[in-house]
Chains A and B, each alone.
Chain A
């Protein structure tokens, strides 16, 4: 009888499994749905208008008149597509966008066609032959995909946000490798927890070989000065400019409400190098003119003094939802002050039933199951945005409470004590 001595989950096998769980969710009507009308606060599903608790447009800018107008103006000027590789010729709007993003981040910043393509362009250029990579097991799939492109470089997985394990690995790897790249998300998009920035900052101070690559897609825009995100905000205290060991990927697709991704880099030389030889920077198409127009308009909003008041409004809503959930006794996977909320469920069936119930009650929320989360941590994910009025939040929490959500709180992702985590929600 054939025996497997060295196990490696093949991609076919893994796809078969993912396909099976997606098919089950589709059969229950909770995945692969199609919306009708959409206006930010509401979306149409099966002919009914639902309150929208599913979008990552955290500041509600996707409906902003200035972004809409800028997209229309860019179409009028350039048409729908500028179909030339940016390596040859870029649309004029790129320059204004990159200039504004550099003001936002305070760093040399390179725009990419998407966050995924930003990772694929940057990581193979940043990581050199004598480097090693350590990646958080819950880092976004796009980061895992990008590390697959690294040839002849060891890639180590670490358990989620386990600083002790990272430190242990650094002790071993620092003997043999010039640099060790730690790859993490700034804000984990399923359970809504931040990377342990304080601890990561301490590791940067302690290990000169350590370099950080942070995907801050979910914290771009709504957090930090001009929306530079949580990573640049938190790690900025650790001599970011001096040691030049932190690269942050941003998203222009979520709170920013336009299209594309961006890389905030420690120096201008790296920007040029990734632009010159980062695969998708040469071989992928550019962001289309209307969305470049929207991105420029969004970047202008982020640079205005009023932007911090808009961010504060969202933070108030997040706090409101956290307090309402605590009062209703609704268990949450984490209590970090982020717009991502996750109600743990005992089983995929329970999560699906809960989502179906909430949809019937008039709320759009998302079921979460493997492979988006571990098999043992299914649940219901919802987001709080400036599209949601306080009465919408009250109604959602009340509906979840009325359903009598019975499961106990999931073992909490370890909460660090820095400013964004309330003492006890």
Chain B
């Protein structure tokens, strides 16, 4: 598989492993395959910024699941822009979260900023930083991706 296809594969896997149906949970083993052991996950919310490694992210997500903050989670990529150089890749990836894959409208939208590292045979995520669209932080795909929009 060439690097471009491998990048696409890792990004698709990333969205797949964090999504889960009613009563389920993220695919934790799958996450370990997609994310580098040194990976950082950074969440920006109006209430504050959280920095996680894989272990603390799992602890946070498990607490949210235990408390019933989420009972299912579907995140889909709606647009992407990639830059690669040597063993590094940076991807700006716009997403929607939905109640179910079939839902007509979404629960939330936002942008993932993803850094990946080429490890010889595949890409792994080294950093995932995300922020969600809010009334004070409007979501404008056209502006975000300027002339380079690739939607799918």
Contact = CB atoms under 8 A, between A and B. Distances in A.
Interface string B98-115: 111011111100000000
B68 A3 contact: no
Interface string A1-35: 11111111100010011001000100000000000
Contacts of B60: 4, 7, 9
B53 interface: yes
A322 interface: no
Contact of A160 (B50, B52, B68, B107): B68
Contacts of B66: 137, 157, 159
Interface residues of B, number: 37
Contact of B51 (A4, A374, A407): A4
Contacts of B69: 370-371, 374-375
B71 interface: yes
A406 B52 CA distance: 38
Given A344-B99, A377-B99, A3 B56 contact: yes
Q: What is the interface residue range for chain A against chain B? A: 35 or more
B71 A346 contact: no
A7 B21 CA distance: 23
Nearest to B51: A3
Interface in B25-49: 45-48
Contact of A8 (B22, B52, B63, B71): B63
A241 to B, nearest CB: 34
B87 interface: no
Contacts of B53: 3, 5
B18 to A, nearest CB: 13
B107 A6 contact: no
Interface in B70-101: 70-73, 97-100
A419 interface: no
A376 B73 contact: yes
Interface stretch (A107-115, A219-227, A347-355, A380-388): A347-355
Contacts of A342: none
Contacts of A378: 99, 107
Contacts of A16: 46-48
Given A7-B60, A376-B72, A407 B50 contact: no
Contacts of B65: 159
Nearest to B74: A376
A411 interface: yes
Contacts of A7: 50, 52, 56, 59-60, 63
Nearest to A9: B63
A17 B47 contact: yes
A208 interface: no
A346 B98 contact: yes
Contact of A374 (B45, B48, B71): B71
Interface string A362-398: 0000000011001111100000000000000000000
Nearest to A4: B56
A422 to B, nearest CB: 22
Given A3-B52, A16-B47, A17-B47, A346 B99 contact: yes
A353 B43 CA distance: 29
A79 interface: no
Contacts of B46: 16, 20
Nearest to A344: B99
Contacts of A236: none
A256 interface: no
A36 interface: no
A229 B72 CA distance: 31
Given A13-B47, A376-B99, A410-B99, A6 B56 contact: yes
B142 interface: no
A376 B47 contact: no
A348 B106 CA distance: 9
B64 to A, nearest CB: 8
Nearest to B48: A13
A350 B107 CA distance: 9
Contacts of A376: 70-73, 97, 99, 107
- List the 7 closest pairs (A to B, CB-CB), nearest first: A7-B60, A137-B68, A411-B22, A16-B47, A346-B103, A157-B66, A346-B105
Interface of B: 21-23, 45-48, 50-53, 55-56, 59-60, 63-73, 97-100, 102-107, 135
Given A3-B51, A4-B60, 9 more contacts: A2-B51, A6-B59, A7-B63, A8-B63, A9-B67, A347-B107, A348-B107, A376-B107, A378-B107
13 contacts: A4-B50, A7-B52, A13-B47, A24-B135, A344-B99, A346-B99, A346-B104, A347-B103, A347-B107, A371-B69, A377-B99, A378-B107, A411-B72
